[in-house]
Structure formats: structure tokens, C-alpha cells
């Protein structure tokens, strides 16, 4: 069975601070995909990134970066120079070779001005 753990329920930072959201996953499969989604107060899920299990390269997209480490089964997400608009719930998710997504519990990020 697969599982995703986001140990941080809530994080509060001040604008311009860097913040890292943790994600730890469990699976016995060797082929899998990891995702991060943002859910603003409106509720709509916004896709941020997908990473497959064979690609451990870190990725940077603007102020966002992701650190994938298979050795620790982690896929952490860092926001650099956070902004108020980054305030949202962020979900990490795992998908095996089929379509089924398993979501973590989510991390509520609040960026204060």
C-alpha cells in the first residue's frame, strides 16, 4: 500500500522568508510519480509539478524548487522569498503505475505581510 505523509499541518511565515514543505512517501513499487498541488481558498487544485521515480534531479521554477531524494523517500518543496499570494494549502501526492492518486494530509501555509 502507498502512503504520503506531510508532517507539517500548518506553517506561518513572514513575507520574503523562505519556507520548505516536507513530504515523505511510502511505496514498494519502483515506478511511481510524485506531485505537488496548491489549493488556494477558492478550492481549485493547481498543479505545480510532477516527478517520476527515475528522475532524481532537483527542479527549480521561479521561486519554487523541489528536492527529490529516493534514499529518504522525500519530495520536499521550497518557496523562496515567499509572498502573501503563496498562502494556500499544499498537497503532496503519489501515483503508482495506474491512475490512482494518494494525497497527503496537506500543509496550510500562511504568509503574513
Partner 1 sequence: GAVVSQHPSWVICKSGTSVKIECRSLDFQATTMFWYRQFPKQSLMLMATSNEGSKATYEQGVEKDKFLINHASLTLSTLTVTSAHPEDSSFYICSARVPLSSYEQYFGPGTRLTVT
Residues that bind partner 1 (CB under 8 A): 33, 37, 42-45, 47, 50, 91, 95, 97-101, 103-106, 108
Task: Tell me how far the alpha carbon of residue 15 is from its chain's centroid.
Answer: 20
Q: Is 89 in a helix, a strand, or coil?
A: strand
Q: Which residue has the cell 491512475?
A: 99
Q: Is 54 or 113 the residue whose CB approaches partner 1 more closely?
A: 54
Main-chain phi, psi angles of 53, to 5 degrees: -70, -15
**Least CB distance from residue 58 to partner 1, whole Å?**
21
User: Residue 41 or 113: which CB sits closer to partner 1?
Assistant: 41
CB of 111 to partner 1, least distance (A): 18
In the complex, minimum distance from the CB of residue 6 to partner 1, in angstroms, rounded to a whole number: 9
Cell of 11: 506553517
Q: Distance between CA atoms of 20 and 79, rounded to whole angstroms?
A: 6
Residue 64 or 103 with smaller CB distance to partner 1: 103
Q: What does the block give as the cell for 44?
A: 481549485
Q: Which is nearer to partner 1, 98 or 113 (CB)?
A: 98
Kindly state the smallest distance separating residue 80's Cβ from partner 1, in Å. 26
| Inter-CA distances, 101 with 4, 62, 95, Å | 10, 26, 5
Amino acid at each position: 500500500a502507498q502512503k504520503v505523509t506531510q508532517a507539517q499541518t500548518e506553517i506561518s511565515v513572514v513575507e520574503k522568508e523562505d519556507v520548505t514543505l516536507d513530504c515523505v512517501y511510502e511505496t514498494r513499487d519502483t515506478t511511481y510519480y510524485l506531485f505537488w498541488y496548491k489549493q488556494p481558498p477558492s478550492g481549485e487544485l493547481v498543479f505545480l509539478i510532477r516527478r517520476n521515480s527515475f528522475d532524481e534531479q532537483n527542479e527549480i521554477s521561479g521561486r519554487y524548487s523541489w528536492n527529490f531524494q529516493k534514499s529518504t523517500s522525500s519530495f520536499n518543496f521550497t518557496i523562496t522569498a515567499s509572498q502573501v499570494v503563496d498562502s494556500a494549502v499544499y498537497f503532496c501526492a503519489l501515483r503508482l503505475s495506474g491512475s490512482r492518486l494518494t494525497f497527503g494530509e496537506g500543509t496550510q501555509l500562511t504568509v503574513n505581510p
